[in-house]
Structure 1
Amino acid sequence: MNFFEHQDRARRKTGMLVWLFIVAVAGLIAGTYVLIMSLYLGGLEQASQQREALINQFGPDTFWRPDILLGVALAVFLVVGGGSLFKTAQLSGGGEPLALSLGGRRLLNDSGDQVERKVLNVVEEMALASGLPVPPVFMMDREQGINAFAAGYQPEDAVIGVTRGCVEQLSRDELQGVIAHEFSHILNGDMRLNIRLIGIVHGILLVGLIGYYTLRIAAASSGRRSSNNKGGGGLAFLGLGLGLMAIGFIGTLIGNLIKAAVSRQREFLADASAVQFTRDPNGIAGALKKIGGLNTGSKVTVAKAAEASHMFFAEGVSELFATHPPLAKRIARIDMFWQAEMQVEQATQAGASSSTPHPAFAPAGAVGFAGSTASSMPPPDTLPPRYEPQPAP
Structure 2
Amino acid sequence: MNFFEHQDRAKRKTLQLVVLFILGVISLILTLTLAVGAFLYFQQGSAGATGQGQSLPPVSQVLSTEQLPLLAGIALAVCAVVLLGSLFRRMQLGSGGHTVAEALGGRLLNTATRDANEKRILNVVEEMALASGIAVPPVYLLDDDSINAFAAGFNPQDAVIGITRGAIELLSRDELQGVIAHEFSHILHGDMRLNIRLISWLYGILLLGLIGRFLLSSLRFRRVRSSRNDKSAAVMMLLGVGLLIVGYAGSFFGNLIKAAVSRQREFLADASAVQYTRNPLGIAGALKKIGGHYAGSSLNAPGANEFSHMYFGSSGSSGLTSLLATHPPLEERIKRVDPGWKGDLPQPERMTQEPIQEPTDSGDRKASALAAMAMAASSVNAQQAAQHSIAAMGDPDAAHLAYATICLKHWMINYRPPHTNLSRPGL
Class of the TM-score when normalised by the shorter of the 2 chains:
0.7 to 0.9
For 1:342, what is the secondary structure of its paired residue?
A: coil
Q: CA deviation at 1:12?
A: 1.1
Matched residue, 1:309 = 308
- The answer as to whether partners of 1:41 and 1:61 remain within 8 angstroms in 2 is no
- The answer as to whether partners of 2:128 and 2:184 remain within 8 angstroms in 1 is yes
Matched residue, 2:396 = none
**Deviation digits for residues 195-227 of structure 1, max 9, x if unmatched?**
111100000011111111122234432332232
For 1:277, what is the secondary structure of its paired residue?
A: helix
Matched residue, 2:124 = 122
For 1:31, what is the secondary structure of its paired residue?
A: helix
Give the alignment's TM-score, normalised by structure 2: 0.76
Q: CA deviation at 1:42?
A: 3.6
Q: CA deviation at 1:68?
A: 2.9
| Aligned counterparts of 1:60 and 1:14: Cα–Cα separation in 2 | 39
Q: CA deviation at 1:47?
A: 4.6
Q: Are 1:180 and 2:181 matched, yes or no?
A: yes
**Bigger share in helix:** 2
For 1:112, what is the secondary structure of its paired residue?
A: coil
For 1:88, what is the secondary structure of its paired residue?
A: helix
Matched residue, 2:327 = 324
Matched residue, 2:24 = 24
- The answer as to whether partners of 1:291 and 1:297 remain within 8 angstroms in 2 is yes
- After TM superposition, list the pairs within 5 Å mapping 1:275-286 onto structure 2: 275-286=274-285
Q: What is the Cα-based RMSD across aligned positions, in Å?
A: 2.2
Q: Percent identity?
A: 53
For 1:115, what is the secondary structure of its paired residue?
A: helix
Matched residue, 1:375 = none
Q: Are 1:333 and 2:336 matched, yes or no?
A: yes
Matched residue, 2:135 = 133
Worse-matched range after superposition: 300-309 or 131-140? 300-309
- The answer as to whether partners of 1:35 and 1:240 remain within 8 angstroms in 2 is no
Q: CA deviation at 1:41?
A: 4.1
Matched residue, 2:196 = 195
**Deviation digits for residues 144-177 of structure 1, max 9, x if unmatched?**
1100011111101111011010001111100100
Q: CA deviation at 1:249?
A: 0.6
- The answer as to whether partners of 2:259 and 2:323 remain within 8 angstroms in 1 is yes
| Aligned counterparts of 1:320 and 1:60: Cα–Cα separation in 2 | 38
Matched residue, 1:215 = 216
Which amino acid letter does the alignment assign opposite residue 32 of structure 1?
A: L
Give the alignment's TM-score, normalised by structure 1: 0.83
- The answer as to whether partners of 1:83 and 1:202 remain within 8 angstroms in 2 is yes
Matched residue, 1:237 = 236
| Aligned counterparts of 1:36 and 1:157: Cα–Cα separation in 2 | 43
| Aligned counterparts of 1:250 and 1:60: Cα–Cα separation in 2 | 25
Q: CA deviation at 1:345?
A: 4.1
Structure 1 residues 46, 145: CA separation in 2 closer, same or farther (over 3 Å shift)? same
| Aligned counterparts of 1:78 and 1:41: Cα–Cα separation in 2 | 22
**Deviation digits for residues 122-146 of structure 1, max 9, x if unmatched?**
00000000001000011112x0110
Select the residue among 97, 104, 107 that pairs with 1:105. 107
Q: CA deviation at 1:38?
A: 3.5
| Aligned counterparts of 1:168 and 1:282: Cα–Cα separation in 2 | 18
**Deviation digits for residues 7-29 of structure 1, max 9, x if unmatched?**
11111111111112212212222
| Aligned counterparts of 1:131 and 1:224: Cα–Cα separation in 2 | 67
**Deviation digits for residues 312-370 of structure 1, max 9, x if unmatched?**
1111222211111111110111111113x2321441347xxxxxxxxxxxxxxxxxxxx
Which amino acid letter does the alignment assign opposite residue 149 of structure 1?
A: F
Matched residue, 1:78 = 80
Which amino acid letter does the alignment assign opposite residue 153 of structure 2?
A: G
For 2:151, what is the secondary structure of its paired residue?
A: strand
- The answer as to whether partners of 2:292 and 2:348 remain within 8 angstroms in 1 is no
Which amino acid letter does the alignment assign opposite residue 36 of structure 1?
A: V
Matched residue, 2:375 = none
Q: CA deviation at 1:72?
A: 2.3
Matched residue, 1:264 = 263
- The answer as to whether partners of 1:215 and 1:241 remain within 8 angstroms in 2 is yes
| Aligned counterparts of 1:319 and 1:125: Cα–Cα separation in 2 | 35
Select the residue among 94, 97, 121 that pairs with 2:96. 94
For 1:160, what is the secondary structure of its paired residue?
A: strand
- The answer as to whether partners of 2:34 and 2:71 remain within 8 angstroms in 1 is no
| Aligned counterparts of 2:181 and 2:331: Cα–Cα separation in 1 | 20
Q: CA deviation at 1:97?
A: 2.1
Q: CA deviation at 1:66?
A: 3.2
Q: Are 1:162 and 2:163 matched, yes or no?
A: yes
Which amino acid letter does the alignment assign opposite residue 35 of structure 2?
A: L
Matched residue, 1:358 = none
For 1:28, what is the secondary structure of its paired residue?
A: helix
Q: CA deviation at 1:59?
A: 12
Structure 1 residues 52, 4: CA separation in 2 closer, same or farther (over 3 Å shift)? farther
Q: CA deviation at 1:70?
A: 2.1
What are structure 1's unaligned runs of at least 5 residues? 351-393
| Aligned counterparts of 1:220 and 1:297: Cα–Cα separation in 2 | 50
Worse-matched range after superposition: 312-321 or 77-86? 312-321
Which amino acid letter does the alignment assign opposite residue 132 of structure 2?
A: S
Structure 1 residues 37, 50: CA separation in 2 closer, same or farther (over 3 Å shift)? farther
Structure 1 residues 251, 51: CA separation in 2 closer, same or farther (over 3 Å shift)? farther
For 1:162, what is the secondary structure of its paired residue?
A: strand
Which amino acid letter does the alignment assign opposite residue 3 of structure 1?
A: F
| Aligned counterparts of 2:268 and 2:53: Cα–Cα separation in 1 | 61
For 2:327, what is the secondary structure of its paired residue?
A: coil
- The answer as to whether partners of 1:29 and 1:72 remain within 8 angstroms in 2 is no
Matched residue, 1:387 = none
Larger radius of gyration: 2
Q: CA deviation at 1:80?
A: 0.8
Which amino acid letter does the alignment assign opposite residue 157 of structure 2?
A: E
Q: Are 1:224 and 2:257 matched, yes or no?
A: no
For 2:326, what is the secondary structure of its paired residue?
A: coil
- The answer as to whether partners of 2:81 and 2:207 remain within 8 angstroms in 1 is yes
Matched residue, 2:9 = 9
Structure 1 residues 51, 186: CA separation in 2 closer, same or farther (over 3 Å shift)? farther
Matched residue, 2:368 = none
